[in-house]
Amino acid sequence: MGFSSALQSRAAHEALIVRQDAELRLMETMKRSIQMKAKCDKEYAISLTAVAQQGLKIDRADEMQGSLITKSWRSYLDELDQQAKQFKFNAEQLEVVCDKLSHLSQDKRKARKAYQEEHAKIAARLNHLSDEVVRKKTEYQKHLEGYKALRTRFEEHYIKAPSRSGRKLDDVRDKYQKACRKLHLTHNEYVLSITEAIEVEKDFRTVLLPGLLEHQQSVQESFILLWRNILQEAAQYGDLTADKYKEIQKRIDTVIGGINPTEEYGEFTEKHKTSPTSPMLFQFDETLIEDIPGKLQSSTLTVDNLTVDWLRNRLQELESAVKDCQEKQLKMIEHVNGGSPVANGSIISNGSNTSNGIQSNKDSQCRQSKDLNALRCQEKQKQKLVDMIKCALNEVGCEELPSGCDDHLTLEQTFIENGYNNEQQQRSNSTSSPGLGIMNELMRRGGVLTLLRGRGRHFKRKSTPQPTTPTTRCRQGRFNKLQPRSQSLGSLSISLSTNRPLYEEEWFHGVLPREEVVRLLNNDGDFLVRETIRNEESQIVLSVCWNGHKHFIVQTTGEGNFRFEGPPFASIQELIMHQYHSELPVTVKSGAILRRPVCRERWELSNDDVVLLERIGRGNFGDVYKAKLKSTKLDVAVKTCRMTLPDEQKRKFLQEGRILKQYDHPNIVKLIGICVQKQPIMIVMELVLGGSLLTYLRKNSNGLSNRQQMGMCRDAAAGMRYLESKNCIHRDLAARNCLVDLEHSVKISDFGMSREEEEYIVSDGMKQIPVKWTAPEALNFGKYTSLCDVWSYGILMWEIFSKGDTPYSGMSNSRARERIDTGYRMPTPENTPAEMYRLMLKCWAADAESRPHFDEIYNVVDALILRLDNSH
């Protein structure tokens, strides 16, 4: 019976530590006793020498010469002196034995410490993973609560929104998507931690702990063998030649000889015997996902656009860890086969015999075997996670990664999402009836998208044999016209040439981001085609509304044809027409069927209809150009988005377009459209010829009157009053973000940081925040309201009346914050009317609720202008 099978419990481990302590105490007792015996033997040898010397002081008278008795006595005393020398030699050898026993005690203490540390190390990992599982579960619950709260909030805003549009609804959705992302990532971490804990616990119970105990038993038995040798030496140097001492010595030899290392711990092991450790159960808590419809599955990894990058990075880390384990194992095996194991010098030192060296060799091999088993366990644990992630990623197939947020909610009734007005909603309902052809929809949009013509990505038809499909039977020679599903609808007057560039198809939406696409697909069977850039590679994607939203990457064959799971086609248009007419699912797994094409919205312009003329500025996402529309010859301003930016940044770039498209006010810059057919993405706005307000102020500093400056303040207040009524927080109001037209009217611009809600809490840090224009509560707590814009408006007023000076000139951002928090406010610019400076100070009130709203600000400035005009 061995340690590895009988001493796995915690109680047995503690009993083994207690046994080791008792053995150490026994060694100390033995050492003191042998030291005392050596001392006694030395003292006895000294006394015996004295006796011999005393006995030799005999009378040397001539009368005793030749006496046999005297000779015998002298011989006796000589032998007595030799006996004293022998006792002294034995005592000195016993001191050497004591030194060996001291070294053995030190080595045994080190071995006990090494065992405790190794046991604690392998147990700590199991305990850590157990705690990690509990922590991940707690974190899961936390994110789940946040997800539920934001999901409820999104549903409420979704239902209450009158047109299912607006900046506020978009930002609620953004928060909801972030919560989904956090939840899904936590879900995967929870699944992986459970899987890893299962593997670690199994290896702890079946490999690591038994291996450690087996090694420890070998070490313990090694010490017993050395201990026995030391006792034999002690007994040897106490062996006397007298008969009674021989009998005593024989009994000692018999007792000491009966020591058998392999049987030493038999009684101890039997006394503390326990059953093998029961397996610990790690199981996914399914109550966490009871209220989540269909996205997250217990003990299953979730692969979607929120988690795929994390999973791929995790896979690389795990594969690297597996490779490291394999390399370490190979090096260890080569060392065992090619090198000589290093013996434990502290054990075989001090003149130990050959058996000690053999035992040390055995210990070294046992230790190497234990380390190799530990590496194999680590490799197996990591490989299990690698296989799990690979399996999850391989199941994606040709579908583009699904969205992690369930934007398409199953409510009591179907709602049309942001991006469609009532007229578009009615059109959607009418065209979703069975039998209506795809070209009918194109005809409906034919007069709207005259701007969508020009050059673009061109997918040419190749002269390759065409497969026999329902589509080819409808063609005459070439695929020229798209026939309706129902002959009763008659022939269509619009032809679809397969040689026409893909970008000219009105159901092709270019590089419109996936989040925008989801807004357009509302009914089962709605579809459109778009382009996505992933890892610097262009891919064409078919997006379909079918039990949610599904996205399929168009596969390219070796011959340059295009397909999904069915036959290949020479052009993407033919592929889409085939799927539409055949009414076959795009993939068997998805079951998605194409029923109605969704054409581009009126504000989706063609990139090639915009001619860039000259660069007039630079924004956060790219350059700003003066441009001209080919179709109308209208001069416009164009903001471009750098192609190298990630999708998240491009989504934020288009956010400004989504906000501006619903606003119409003379003091808000107007949106003309967005260009998403190809890179770069562009936002097209009205061209305000006066340029930046800040530049205008600095160039015309000598010619500006108080009346003009107050008029600029009134224009800005009018625009901000309009935004406040729309629950839009600008967050970056400053002279540099306002424009001036030729009539000196100010327009609010640059909505890249804007949020459509009454209160916005920053969740992604305070990077790129305009500190000197931002209200203290936003800087200190990340909390934005329209009253934060009021603070910024006060800074804007100061810029206008200082004619373009820099606020808090000479102060760093941090110094300005410190001064503001202590009550400092900028002094009035020269020649500023006292009423206007008082209004600035009100805008800079430390308590946000004490600041005026923009309606009040507008009325105050307007009244001051009216009074000034009347006085003249």
User: Averaged over 599-621, what is the pLDDT?
Assistant: 85
For domain 433-507+515-591, give the CATH superfamily: SH2 domain (3.30.505.10)
pLDDT at 782: 85
Q: Which CATH fold topology does 3-394 show? A: Substrate Binding Domain Of Dnak; Chain:A; Domain 2 (1.20.1270)
| CA angle centred on 161, ends 155 and 162, rounded to 5° | 145
Least confident of 27-36, 180-189, 290-299: 290-299
The residue whose two tokens read 């934005």 is 784
Q: Is the pLDDT of residue 125 over 80?
A: yes
For residues 682 and 597, give the distance between their C-alpha atoms in angstroms, rounded to a whole number.
24
DSSP E strand stretches across 325-466: none
Q: Is the pLDDT of residue 815 over 50?
A: yes
Smallest CA-to-CA distance from 415 within 270, 275, 519, 315 is with 519
Smallest CA-to-CA distance from 294 within 410, 394, 194 is with 410
User: Averaged over 50-63, what is the pLDDT?
Assistant: 73
For residues 675 and 609, give the distance between their C-alpha atoms in angstroms, rounded to a whole number.
9
CA 311, chain centre distance (Å): 9
pLDDT at 339: 52
Task: Write out pLDDT tens, residues 215-224.
Answer: 999 999 999 9
The helix (H) or strand (E) run that includes residue 314 is helix 308-338
Smallest CA-to-CA distance from 165 within 429, 421, 498 is with 421
pLDDT at 248: 62
Please state, as a whole number, how many other Cβ atoms lie within 10 Å of the Cβ of residue 389.
Answer: 20
Q: What residues does each domain of the chain span?
A: 3-394, 433-507+515-591, 605-686, 693-871
Phi, psi of 620 (to 5 degrees): -65, -25
Please state, as a whole number, how many other Cβ atoms lie within 10 Å of the Cβ of residue 356.
Answer: 20
User: Averaged over 717-723, what is the pLDDT?
Assistant: 95
The residue whose two tokens read 């009158």 is 162
Task: Write out pLDDT tens, residues 11-33.
Answer: 989 999 999 999 999 999 999 99
For residues 640 and 658, give the distance between their C-alpha atoms in angstroms, rounded to a whole number.
15
Task: Write out pLDDT tens, residues 772-807.
Answer: 999 999 998 888 899 999 999 999 999 999 999 999
pLDDT at 102: 94
The residue whose two tokens read 């248009």 is 573
Can you say whether residue 668 is alpha, beta or left, with left for phi > 0 and alpha for psi between -120 and 50 degrees?
Answer: beta
Length of the chain (residues)? 872
Phi, psi of 234 (to 5 degrees): -60, -45
The residue whose two tokens read 């530590």 is 17
For residues 799 and 820, give the distance between their C-alpha atoms in angstroms, rounded to a whole number.
17
Can you say whether residue 301 is alpha, beta or left, with left for phi > 0 and alpha for psi between -120 and 50 degrees?
Answer: beta
DSSP E strand stretches across 263-309: none
CATH 3.90.1640.10 fits 693-871, yes or no: no
For residues 150 and 736, give the distance between their C-alpha atoms in angstroms, rounded to a whole number.
35
User: Averaged over 844-861, what is the pLDDT?
Assistant: 95
For residues 587 and 597, give the distance between their C-alpha atoms in angstroms, rounded to a whole number.
18
For residue 381, the cross-strand partners are none
The residues annotated as belonging to the active site are 732
Least confident of 453-457, 588-592, 702-706: 453-457
Backbone CA torsion sign across 131, 133, 136, 138: negative
Q: How far lies 481's CA from each of 20, 454, 477, 493, in Å? A: 92, 21, 11, 9
Ordered alpha helix ranges (H), 161-208: 167-203
The answer to whether 480 and 497 are in contact (CB under 8 A) is yes
Is the preceding peptide bond at 807 cis, omega within 30 degrees of 0? Answer: no
Burial 288-307 (b: 16+ CB within 10 A, else e): bbeebeebbeeeebbbbbbb
Confidence of residue 238 (pLDDT cuts 50, 70, 90): confident
Q: Is the pLDDT of residue 423 over 80?
A: no
Task: Write out pLDDT tens, residues 758-771.
Answer: 666 665 545 568 99
User: Averaged over 825-848, what is the pLDDT?
Assistant: 95
Confidence of residue 40 (pLDDT cuts 50, 70, 90): very high
Kindly report the CATH class assigned to 605-686: alpha beta
Confidence of residue 601 (pLDDT cuts 50, 70, 90): confident
Q: Is the pLDDT of residue 355 over 60?
A: no
For residues 796 and 736, give the distance between their C-alpha atoms in angstroms, rounded to a whole number.
9
The helix (H) or strand (E) run that includes residue 640 is strand 635-640
Q: How far lies 91's CA from each of 96, 246, 251, 349, 446, in Å? A: 9, 18, 21, 21, 117
Q: Is 678 labelled as part of a ligand binding site?
A: no
Kindly state the tokens that stand for 272: 């503390």
Kindly state the tokens that stand for 849: 């609720």
Q: How far lies 87's CA from each of 97, 99, 738, in Å? A: 15, 19, 109
Task: Write out pLDDT tens, residues 152-171.
Answer: 888 888 877 666 667 788 88
- What DSSP string describes 471-511? HHHH-BSB--B---SSGGG---S-B--TTS-GGGSTTB-TT
| Alpha-carbon torsion angle 321, 327, 330, 335, nearest 10 | -110
CA 324, chain centre distance (Å): 22
Smallest CA-to-CA distance from 277 within 482, 644, 11, 74 is with 11
